[in-house]
């Protein structure tokens, strides 16, 4: 490969890497995509939500053959105590539209499909190929990559790093710092298999309809994190994740948390009788806008999870990853057609385009949320129990007069933290939200 040159090299075949490679190859660029896994998706174990809009902008007719599980018609959001949950949910038949807004997917299957689409538009894919370092010229400009294959140097005008939240190639090449442990979450997930009709009955579904449950509270043992449950065609993805720095300070393991979550009275009946066939873990960027690293330089740019492209408030990630890949590809195509060199100054077009769309605007809007949650862990401990106690007192009819019940509710808040403390936290959260 030493004498081969490409217009662009993409390191990684996940959502962002596939989006970037597809966008460039579709427009006629000679693209090489390198994946260290056995096949695209072999290392992507996430049970995910796919937001259709971002993929439509890349492959408008994706619904015709993409491996989609269920389109989501109901969202449940739970705050969980030790034996209860207080929540809200939204269900609408409007989501049974001709082109649904979001789907559950299984990444291993979906990424295989996406990669086939990338190759069909002309990109070259090499799997089981690890990029060991970036190649630079005398001025420090990236001009290609070195791989672990024989004669493993490959040259290109630009290298797109779509290697995930760790960004090891970028770190080894001093393009970025190692991600901080308080800026990334470790999530563990199991796949529980049930007959299609059982899933329909338990979640009040028909056909390809799906339900998503996202939960927070005492299930994370005082750590910053959330649990989730997604319905697939013949399986249920159930998992939980917390900030890595919290795990480092705790004696609780991710597996311990998952076992408690699965056995919670609100979750256990939903997966009862299922067969667990898969257990996996993955890292999720949670640092938000303030943790975004350098996104581009002479001959290189970064896409996907390494961009910290996750909106933790709205639980968006897959759409943002694909969007960074698409925008990077479009910026490179634009420069290529102008015959502009892939310098740092010119690749600033990538950041500019990200700033012009929803992605950077949303990340900037919620930039204070990670800090608020990190410094207010009672959001995951105290308040869920208080909400549960209040609901218990409100709904239990035992001969106690209502005024006394109301005093009991207010009294529990006063003893635990005080109403003023709760109001103060509400104002702090509102400021962070803005």
Encode pLDDT of 127-178 as tens digits: 999 999 999 999 999 999 999 888 789 999 999 999 988 888 888 888 888 8
Cα dihedral 359, 362, 368, 370 sign = negative
Contact (CB, 8 A) for 416 and 386: yes
Which structure tokens are listed for 337? 């057609």
| Per-residue tokens: 5 | 């040159």
Domain locations along the chain? 5-68+105-181+290-356, 185-285, 376-433
Residue 347 corresponds to which tokens in the numbers above? Answer: 């690749």
Tens digits of residue pLDDT in 335-344: 999 999 999 9
pLDDT band at 51 (very low <50, low <70, confident <90, very high): very high
User: Which class is 5-68+105-181+290-356 in CATH?
Assistant: alpha beta
- By three-state DSSP, how is residue 9 classified? strand
Please give the Cα distance from 29 to 125 (Å, whole number): 14
Cα end-to-end distance, the chain, whole Å? 51
Does residue 419 carry a pLDDT above 50?
no
From 3.40.50.1110, 3.40.50.261, 3.40.50.10420, 3.30.9.90, which CATH number describes the 185-285 domain? 3.30.9.90
- CA-nearest of 160, 164, 178 to 307 is 164
Question: What are the residues whose beta carbons fall under 8 Å from the beta carbon of 419, sequence distance 6 or more?
Answer: 410, 413
- Best CA proximity match to 380, nearest among 199, 239, 257: 257
Q: Please, which residues bridge with residue 142 across strands?
A: 136
pTM of the model: 0.90
Give the DSSP letter of residue 316.
B
Q: How many residues does the chain have?
A: 434
SS3 8: strand
Asked if residue 418 has pLDDT above 50, the reply is no
Asked if residues 47 and 212 have their Cβ atoms less than 8 Å apart, the reply is no
Calculate the average pLDDT of the chain.
Answer: 88
- Of 162, 82, 207, the closest CA to residue 324 belongs to 162
The alpha carbon of residue 97 and the mean position of all alpha carbons in its chain are separated, in whole angstroms, by 25
| DSSP one-letter code for 179 | P
Q: Is the pLDDT of residue 43 over 70?
A: no
Instruction: Compute the distance between CA of residue 12 and CA of residue 210 in angstroms, rounded to an integer.
Output: 30
Is the pLDDT at 408 greater than 60? The verdict is yes
23: enclosing H helix or E strand: helix 15-26
Shared fold status for 5-68+105-181+290-356 and 185-285: no
> Residue 255 phi/psi, 5° resolution?
-65, -40
Confidence bin at 4 (pLDDT 50/70/90): confident
Residue 361 vs residues 142, 291, 310, 355, 356: alpha-carbon distances, Å: 29, 15, 12, 7, 8
Tokens representing residue 49 in the block: 């939500």
Given a contact cutoff of 8 angstroms between Cβ atoms, the answer to whether 273 and 197 are in contact is no
The candidate with the shortest Cα–Cα distance to 156, out of 11, 350, 334, is 11
Max CA distance (Å), the chain: 86
């Amino acid at each position: 490969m030493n004498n081969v040159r490409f217009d662009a090299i993409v390191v990684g075949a996940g959502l962002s890497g596939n989006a970037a490679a597809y966008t460039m190859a579709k427009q006629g660029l000679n693209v090489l995509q390198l994946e260290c896994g056995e096949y695209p998706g072999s290392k992507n174990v996430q049970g995910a939500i796919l937001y259709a809009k971002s993929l439509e902008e890349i492959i408008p007719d994706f619904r015709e053959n993409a491996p989609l599980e269920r389109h989501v018609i109901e969202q449940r959001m739970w705050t969980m105590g030790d034996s209860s949950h207080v929540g809200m949910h939204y269900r609408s038949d409007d989501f049974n539209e001709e082109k649904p807004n979001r789907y559950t997917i299984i990444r291993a299957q979906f990424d295989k499909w996406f990669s086939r689409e990338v190759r069909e538009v002309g990109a070259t894919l090499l799997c089981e190929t690890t990029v060991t370092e970036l190649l630079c010229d005398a001025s420090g400009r990236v001009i290609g990559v070195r791989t672990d294959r024989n004669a493993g140097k490959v040259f290109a005008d630009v290298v797109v790093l779509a290697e995930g939240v760790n960004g090891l190639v970028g770190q080894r090449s001093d393009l970025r710092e190692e991600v901080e442990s308080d800026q990334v979450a470790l999530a563990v997930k199991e796949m529980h298999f049930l007959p299609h009709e059982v899933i329909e009955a338990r979640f009040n579904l028909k056909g390809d309809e799906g339900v998503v449950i996202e939960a927070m509270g005492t299930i994370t043992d005082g750590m910053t994190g959330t649990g989730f449950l997604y319905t697939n065609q013949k399986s249920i993805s159930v998992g939980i994740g917390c900030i890595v720095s919290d795990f480092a300070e705790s004696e609780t393991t991710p597996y311990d948390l998952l076992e408690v979550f699965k056995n919670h009275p609100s979750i256990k009946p939903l997966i009862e009788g299922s067969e667990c066939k898969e257990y996996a873990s993955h890292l999720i960027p949670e640092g938000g806008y303030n943790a975004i690293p350098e996104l581009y330089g002479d001959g290189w740019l970064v896409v996907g999870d390494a961009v910290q492209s996750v909106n933790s408030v709205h639980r968006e990630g897959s759409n943002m990853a694909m969007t960074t890949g698409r925008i990077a590809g479009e910026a490179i195509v634009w420069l290529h057609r102008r015959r502009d060199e892939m310098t740092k100054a010119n690749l600033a077009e990538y950041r500019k385009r990200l700033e012009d769309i929803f992605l950077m605007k949303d990340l900037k809007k919620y930039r204070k949320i990670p800090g608020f949650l990190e410094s207010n862990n009672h959001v995951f401990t105290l308040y869920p129990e208080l909400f549960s106690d209040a609901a218990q007192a409100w709904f239990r009819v035992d001969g106690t007069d209502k005024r006394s019940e109301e005093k009991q509710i207010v009294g529990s808040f006063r003893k635990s933290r005080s109403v003023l403390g709760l109001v103060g936290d509400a104002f702090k959260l509102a400021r962070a939200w803005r």
